[in-house]
């Protein structure tokens, strides 16, 4: 699947639908990423669900997760999801491939709201490819995870996957670098071998990477079909909201006071938030204040060098 489905256990359905303290349909949706990449998911969610209130949390102080150990990733994922719940979130989107691959199951077991994760679009890529050669660009943690390996094995068939860790790409994005000569040269070193192997499809296996679309196009032209799962994630979120009766009331069905209460996304960062604000402005057209937030977690005190 190009996205994670909500766990299907009956306990989660009861807790979402029956708890008297469960958030209502007008509560916000929480979106979380290790840094700025989840903005690509936020963009898709805003387009698909324009009446929903959104909270975006970036754990930029500890990005990139692709260089962290599994326990740290699971610890931070759960802590930030719990913080989003404390802000009244009715559903959560873990808009980070690395966090999904390492900790989504544990997070779902611990929380009683719909939790949507992300996975590289292996299945649609395998269906789309004509040459039967597909490139996969993702973090090293995602590529080595058991979750990804199982996903790839399910859809390999006669399709060859060229797996390429995107070393340095997240760091560049976190600096708001999407098109510098240095970045393009780095991307070329990853993409050109795929082209030489006759790949015709490239899976963007990190939510940061859709913002590198133009840079990739400058290298590959039309030779590669780019698979970005952000739209599929937004559709899955829409289905889950409808399933649990959590969909926001459309603006045209609200009175004027309620309609005016629909707000732009709220942005939070564990870092100073300047790069998040710059990227939101340049890529999404949103000039928003980014609030700094401190989110404690079990491993936080064990990290001597968080940057």
Check whether 266 has a pLDDT greater than 70.
Answer: yes
Which of 81, 96, 159, 176 is catalytic? The answer is 96
This prediction's pTM: 0.81
Quick one: CATH architecture of 10-119+231-302?
A: 3-Layer(aba) Sandwich (3.40)
Backbone angles phi, psi at 22, to 5 degrees: -65, 145
> For position 22, what pLDDT does the model report?
58
Which of 81, 159, 176, 206 is catalytic? The answer is 206
Choice among 60-64, 93-97, 197-201, 220-224 with the minimum mean pLDDT = 60-64
Check whether 179 has a pLDDT greater than 80.
Answer: yes
Rounded to an integer, the average pLDDT of 122-130 is 94
Check if 96 is active-site: yes
Check if 159 is active-site: no
Rounded to an integer, the average pLDDT of 216-230 is 95
Residue limits of CATH 3.40.50.1860 in the chain = 10-119+231-302, 122-228
Under the banding of pLDDT at 50, 70 and 90, the label for residue 184 is very high
Rounded Cα distance between 235 and 307, Å, is: 34
Q: 24, exposed or middle or buried, with CB in 10 Å at 0-12, 13-18, 19+? A: exposed
Under the banding of pLDDT at 50, 70 and 90, the label for residue 276 is confident
Contact 173, 198 (CB under 8 A): no
The per-residue pLDDT for range 234-263, each reduced to its tens digit, is 999 999 999 999 999 886 655 554 444 457
Contact 165, 233 (CB under 8 A): no
Check whether 215 has a pLDDT greater than 70.
Answer: yes
Under the banding of pLDDT at 50, 70 and 90, the label for residue 281 is confident
The per-residue pLDDT for range 9-40, each reduced to its tens digit, is 222 222 222 233 457 889 999 999 998 889 99
Quick one: CATH architecture of 122-228?
A: 3-Layer(aba) Sandwich (3.40)
CA distances for 256 relative to 24, 161, 259, angstroms: 19, 52, 5
Give just the sign of the alpha carbon dihedral 65, 70, 76, 81. Answer: positive
Within 10 angstroms of residue 49's Cβ, the number of other Cβ atoms is 18
């Amino acid at each position: 699947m190009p996205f994670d489905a909500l766990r299907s256990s009956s306990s989660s359905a009861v807790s979402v639908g029956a708890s008297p303290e469960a958030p209502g349909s007008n509560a916000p949706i929480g979106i979380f990423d290790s840094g700025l990449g989840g903005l690509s998911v936020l963009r898709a969610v805003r387009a698909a669900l324009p009446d929903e209130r959104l909270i975006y949390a970036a754990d930029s102080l500890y990005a990139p997760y692709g260089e962290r150990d599994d326990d740290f990733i699971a610890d931070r994922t759960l802590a930030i999801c719990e913080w989003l719940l404390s802000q009244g979130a009715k559903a959560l989107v873990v808009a980070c491939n690395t966090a999904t691959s390492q900790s989504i199951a544990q997070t779902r077991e611990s929380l009683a709201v719909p939790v949507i994760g992300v996975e590289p679009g292996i299945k649609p890529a395998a269906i789309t490819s004509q040459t039967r050669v597909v490139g996969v660009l993702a973090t090293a943690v995602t590529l080595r995870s058991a979750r990804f390996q199982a996903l790839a094995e399910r859809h390999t068939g006669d399709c060859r996957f060229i797996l390429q860790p995107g070393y340095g790409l997240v760091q560049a994005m976190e600096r708001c670098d999407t098109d510098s000569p240095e970045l393009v040269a780095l991307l070329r070193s990853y993409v050109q071998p795929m082209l030489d192997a006759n790949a015709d499809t490239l899976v963007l296996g990190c939510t940061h990477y859709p913002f590198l679309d133009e840079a990739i196009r400058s290298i590959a032209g039309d030779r590669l079909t780019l698979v970005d799962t952000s739209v599929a994630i937004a559709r899955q979120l829409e289905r889950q909201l409808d399933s649990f009766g959590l969909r926001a009331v459309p603006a045209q069905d609200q009175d004027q006071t309620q309609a005016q209460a629909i707000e732009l996304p709220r942005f939070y960062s564990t870092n100073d938030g300047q790069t998040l604000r710059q990227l939101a402005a340049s890529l999404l057209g949103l000039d928003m204040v980014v609030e700094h937030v401190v989110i404690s977690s079990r491993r936080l005190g064990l990290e001597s060098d968080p940057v």
